[in-house]
């Protein structure tokens, strides 16, 4: 098990924690990361785009002109797809883009992405992240104290859903966000520069992902 320093909200080292190697130091499978990101993005697609078919567009059902004798092509409705304002033929209809990925693959991809962040030394372990009054500026200052500084540097903060002040304080953060340990996922980890986790969150994630 590799040792990781534990810091407080002031950025001071107060101890260390041993990260489980089967979770934070495994082989990195880049193809699994790609598969899971693709799957997560597909599941988030709204799929509610829609076009009208010829039976749904407004317009008369009257035959435009008589069948014979005009020298023109035969037509039965102004709502036909070949007329301006007519219905579409193969346009999109509401659908669900989600598909399933085996649980074993999701767990292995999550171990891989945690190992990536560990190798990059971009995992920061805190004893607790407790803003006293749920103010965003306290979270911003805390992140600055532990090294997440810069105009667009971002952090994924992982802590229990019982930490109501932290959840409230992260609502207005533009580049960083809070997530519960049970909700940690490949896309969010890759989408943020740093992974900030409390000791309790580390234990929960390890318990869920240990082989």
- Read off the pTM: 0.85
**143 with 56: CB under 8 angstroms?**
no
**Tokens matching residue 76:** 């039965």
Beta strands in 36-139 (DSSP E): 123-126
Domains of the chain, each with CATH number or no CATH: 2-45+101-209 (3.40.1370.10), 47-96 (no CATH)
Per-residue pLDDT of the chain (211 residues; tens, 9 = 90+): 578 999 999 999 999 999 999 999 999 999 999 999 999 999 999 999 999 999 999 988 889 999 999 999 999 999 999 999 999 999 999 999 999 999 999 999 999 999 999 999 999 999 999 888 889 999 999 999 999 988 888 999 999 999 999 999 999 898 999 999 999 999 999 999 999 999 999 999 999 998 6
Residue 71, CA distances (Å) to 65, 66, 74, 79 in order: 11, 10, 9, 21
């Amino acid at each position: 098990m590799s040792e990781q320093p534990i810091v407080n909200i002031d950025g001071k080292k107060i101890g260390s924690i041993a990260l489980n190697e089967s979770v934070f130091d495994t082989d990195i499978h880049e193809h699994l990361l790609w598969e899971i990101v693709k799957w997560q993005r597909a599941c988030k697609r709204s799929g509610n785009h829609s076009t009208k078919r010829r039976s749904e567009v407004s317009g008369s059902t009257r035959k435009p002109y008589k069948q014979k004798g005009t020298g023109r092509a035969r037509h039965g409705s102004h709502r036909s797809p070949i007329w301006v304002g007519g219905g579409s033929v193969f346009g999109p209809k509401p659908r669900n883009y989600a598909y399933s990925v085996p649980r074993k693959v999701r767990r292995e991809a999550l171990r891989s992405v945690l190992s990536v962040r560990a190798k990059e030394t971009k995992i920061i372990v805190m004893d607790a992240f407790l803003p006293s009054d749920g103010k965003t500026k306290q979270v911003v200052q805390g992140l600055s104290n532990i090294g997440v500084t810069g105009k667009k540097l971002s952090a994924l903060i992982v802590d229990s859903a019982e930490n109501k002040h932290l959840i409230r304080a992260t609502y207005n953060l533009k580049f960083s966000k809070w997530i519960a340990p049970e909700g940690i996922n490949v896309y969010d980890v890759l989408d943020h520069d740093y992974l900030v986790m409390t000791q309790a969150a580390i234990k929960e994630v390890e318990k869920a992902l240990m082989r």
